[in-house]
Amino acid sequence: MLREQQAEPGAFRPAVVGNWKMNGTRAALRELDEIDRAARSASNVDVVIALPFTLLDAGSRRMTAVQIASQDVHVEPGGAHTGCISAPMASDAGAVFTLVGHSETRARGDTSATVAHKLRAATKAGMTPILCVGADLNGQAPYEAFRRLRDEIAPVAETNGQMWVAYEPESAIGADSAADSDQIATVHARLREHLGPSARLLYGGSVNADNIAQILSLPNVDGVLVGRASMQASTFAPMITFADQSARRA
């Protein structure tokens, strides 16, 4: 069940989303328990972790305050697609969210059309998709980057409005530092313009405990999507606690 809560009008309720990518065996569930403990005392934050398929069921059974996301879903509900997982299957295993269109899945062949089908499939299965978009102002003419951004968010029309969007400029993923604040603020302003006041807009790409304060202070940034720093409680729990405090301060 989706536990996303409505923030009071005018209040800031950040989202902190982890993405474990192709990492984590059952031994890592202990790490997840610690993260859940931090999330239990952070009632002003939505905490979500995108687990590998193999941990969705066990993870969702153990978590009380962390909500579970799949990292991807197939466009079809079932069938002859060896090695894939459908939205109804991920949902049945306890995932209430799913990432869609992460640049690492786009690099393996997801086109805009595939992403649109995946958003529809996730919505149909009752999941909340987190659409990842990667248009990068770094090394690209702004005109090109904004055209790509418009293309990337077009599939939002496939949802019933219940979706989050994560802006993850490709050059900032797995990098030494996050994108610079100007780029984040500029692109998030565009996203807000296109998607409206109620859209949940996250930033992702080398977010960590040292830069989360700066990132969450930017206009139109409602949360973060965290890769490497989400895999250990020692680095992820402080980010949850910080986001909780920043919600209270807002």
Applying the rule CB under 6 A, the residues between 188 and 207 that interact with ligand PGA are 204-207
Whether the CB-CB separation of 24 and 225 falls below 8 Å is answered with no
Instruction: Decide: helix, strand or coil at residue 203.
Output: strand
C-alpha to C-alpha distance for 39 and 43, rounded to whole angstroms: 7
Binding of ligand PGA at residue 19 (CB under 6 A)?
A: yes
Catalytic residue among 74, 102, 117, 188: 102
Known catalytic membership, residue 8: no
* Dihedral over alpha carbons 188, 198, 65, 208 (to 10 degrees): 10
Distance CA 126, CA 136 (A): 31
- Shortest distance in whole angstroms from residue 104 CB to ligand PGA: 7
The yes-or-no answer on residue 168 being catalytic is yes
Query: Is there binding between residue 228 and ligand PGA (CB under 6 A)?
Result: yes
**Position 225 contacts ligand PGA (CB under 6 A):** yes
Please select the residue that binds ligand PGA; options are 24, 94, 169, 227, rule is CB under 6 A.
227
d(CA 59, CA 97): 13
Tell me whether residue 63 or residue 203 sits nearer to ligand PGA (CB atom): 203
Q: CB 62 → ligand PGA: shortest distance, Å?
A: 22
Q: According to the binding rule CB under 6 A, does residue 28 interact with ligand PGA?
A: no
**Site string (134-173) toward ligand PGA, x via CB under 6 A:** ----------------------------------x----x
209 contacts 229 by C-beta, under 8 angstroms = yes
DSSP single-letter state for residue 75: S
- Report the Cα 28 to chain-centroid distance in Å: 20
Task: Kindly list the catalytic residues.
Answer: 102, 168
